[in-house]
Amino acid sequence: MDRRTFVKSAGGVMLAAASGGLPAPALSQGANARTLRFVPQANLANFDPIWGTQYVVRNAAALVWDTLYGVDETLTPKRQMVESETVSPDGLVWTFKLRSGMKFHDGSPVLAKDAVQSLVRWSARDPMGLMIRALQNELVAVDDLTFRWSLKKPYPKMLLALGKNNSPCTFIMPERIAKTDPFQQITEFVGSGPMRFVRNEWVPGAKAVFEKFADYKPRDEKASWLAGGKRIMVDRIEWVIMPDPATASAALQNGEVDWWENPLSDLVPVLKANRNINVDIADPLGNIGAFRMNHLHPPFDNVKIRRAVLAAMNQEDYMRAIVGDDNNLWKPLPGFFTPGTPLYTESGGEILKMRSLDAAKKLLQEGGYSNQPVTCVVAQDLPVLKAMGEVTADLLKKMGMNVDFVATDWGTVGARRAQKTPPGQGGWNMFHTWHAGADCINPAPYTAVRGSGDKAWFGWPNSPGVEKEVENWFEASSLDDEKAAIARLNKAALEDVVFAPTGFFLTYQAWRKNVTGVTKGPLPFFWGVSKA
């Protein structure tokens, strides 16, 4: 069903909701006011924020686990679990002291040994963590509240690494849990964050529940993104999984849910017409769509075949499929970095402006494509990814490729994309995702743009040219030097096709007007949100 047919078929349900034609939930006013019901972008199929990088897991994890530092709305890292830090004059020894009195949800105190082991696990999976690990002399607990990280070479971005908002974040777990192999999922979900995970009410595919943690000690500062005082104003947050947009729209209009993370843009006019609902752009920094190819296996192990995709694709097709006809919600992106930010560049982006099937077919021939199946793993429960997947299937067929379209759910995509086995043995050739614009303003937190081979993000691109310019950016002494390095990086990433950017787009969020405190940003921030 295409998006226009879908909207027409959903109209009756939406109108019934708008007119109050659906029954209201049977809850007392008091209980209803203390429970916030939230429709997330996807099902919470797993809950290990270090093992994978799915945003839905990161978003839930931010409720349960706290971080050592947290970036605020200016993307400046601020102390969170840390009370103070010192760095030696030569930049080689960082000493951190934790805030006293912090507790985990099981009642045990948060200690330096917990932070150390959590950082060991995090640094095995995160690109910035891997950079620090490569420079590390030792990471040790000095006493109950103090730990020391000594390096062989200065790492000026240390606080950003410990406070960034992109996955994986430095979520601090009890030592016993953090000892879990970073390539295996944890099975115990104990944090020290403002809410605790109610494990016995978790029904993957239906519901996840979080309850306020009475012993949480928020900081005194005003909350801003992942920084400041995370004050929870409700007793309970229920994540209600609703993969069907028409169902979610009707539930929001009828008051069965309070907040919808990412409403389909075609449904926004109906939501805006409802006097009980607020609708706004979720994050002005937007999102970058991604067509992620597996560099380990044919056909995309051949750079000419990856370039064929860039030569043929029309970003407008992808963006229209996501946002519809509103030109204010998208723009073409001949590169990888967030438009409107200081390091934005279009260097090397000419291939994305070709939109030539003939050029693509020639590259396929030069690359030796021999009609082998291209396994496209596409999540059907996220409208953004479903839309991009349908555009890609059509594009690859027009290019003359043999498409094996695997329609599945986002949780399965998240598990399958971690497999390095060949496509015919449970692996994959491509999947779609998107990256928050806040993660794409520079290479430090930008996991997806890295080209570090086996240590790279899913798809495992190996691009020495990209990695060289990442290093040059880290060592740059001026903004001009940073811009020059990023221009070269953008060109190298397009030449090697680290991934194919499908365009820049904005999304909405919607919430009931009796809910206050909803803010803009790259993830839903629940602190400060209250419900009348």
Angle at 279 between CA 277 and CA 284, to 5 degrees: 160
Angle at 37 between CA 36 and CA 39, to 5 degrees: 140
| 3-state SS, residue 77 | strand
- 456 and 513 fall within a common domain: no
Mean pLDDT along residues 262-287: 97
- 102 and 243 fall within a common domain: no
How high is the pLDDT of residue 9? 43
493 inside domain: yes
Between residues 282 and 28, which one has the greater pLDDT? 282
Residues in the chain: 532
- 241 and 317 fall within a common domain: no
CATH number of the domain within which 155 lies: 3.90.76.10
What whole-number distance in Å separates Cα of residue 184 and Cα of residue 193?
22
CATH number of the domain within which 378 lies: 3.10.105.10
30 inside domain: yes
Both tokens of 73, joined, read 């709305």
How high is the pLDDT of residue 33? 81
How high is the pLDDT of residue 139? 98
How high is the pLDDT of residue 497? 98
365 inside domain: yes
Does 1 have pLDDT greater than 90?
no
58 inside domain: no
Structural domains counted in the chain:
3
Both tokens of 516, joined, read 């206050």
Cα–Cα separations (whole angstroms), residue 63 to 57, 101, 439, 521: 10, 19, 20, 15
- 151 and 215 fall within a common domain: no
- 301 and 402 fall within a common domain: yes
366 inside domain: yes
Does 326 have pLDDT greater than 50?
yes
The residue assigned the tokens 């086996």 is 454
Q: Amino acid identity, residue 513?
A: K
- 452 and 330 fall within a common domain: yes
- Burial zone of 231 (CB within 10 Å; 0-12 exposed, 13-18 middle, 19+ buried): middle
Q: Which pLDDT band, with edges at 50, 70 and 90, does 496 fall under?
A: very high
- 166 and 253 fall within a common domain: no
Question: Is residue 314 within 8 Å of 355, Cβ to Cβ?
Answer: yes
How high is the pLDDT of residue 29? 57
pLDDT digits (tens, 9 = 90+) for 216-242: 999 999 999 999 999 999 999 999 999
Does 2 have pLDDT greater than 90?
no
- Burial zone of 18 (CB within 10 Å; 0-12 exposed, 13-18 middle, 19+ buried): buried
Closest CA to 117 of 38, 45, 170: 170
What whole-number distance in Å separates Cα of residue 182 and Cα of residue 168?
11
- 270 and 311 fall within a common domain: no
pLDDT digits (tens, 9 = 90+) for 451-475: 999 999 999 999 999 999 999 999 9
Angle at 289 between CA 512 and CA 524, to 5 degrees: 30
Backbone torsions φ then ψ of 335, nearest 5 degrees = 170, -160
Cα–Cα separations (whole angstroms), residue 234 to 35, 58, 200, 529: 6, 21, 20, 8
Both tokens of 382, joined, read 């996220």
Q: Which pLDDT band, with edges at 50, 70 and 90, does 59 fall under?
A: very high
What whole-number distance in Å separates Cα of residue 438 and Cα of residue 451?
20
- 306 and 446 fall within a common domain: yes
CATH number of the domain within which 241 lies: 3.40.190.10
253 inside domain: yes
- 486 and 526 fall within a common domain: no
52 inside domain: no
- 342 and 371 fall within a common domain: yes
pLDDT digits (tens, 9 = 90+) for 347-394: 999 999 999 999 999 999 999 999 999 999 999 999 999 999 999 999
Task: Name the helix (H) or strand (E) containing 310.
Answer: helix 303-312
Share of the chain above pLDDT 90, in %: 94
- 154 and 219 fall within a common domain: no
Backbone torsions φ then ψ of 102, nearest 5 degrees = -75, 145
Half-sphere exposure of 362 (CA within 13 A, CB side): 5
50 inside domain: no
- Segments forming the whole domain that contains residue 461: 287-505
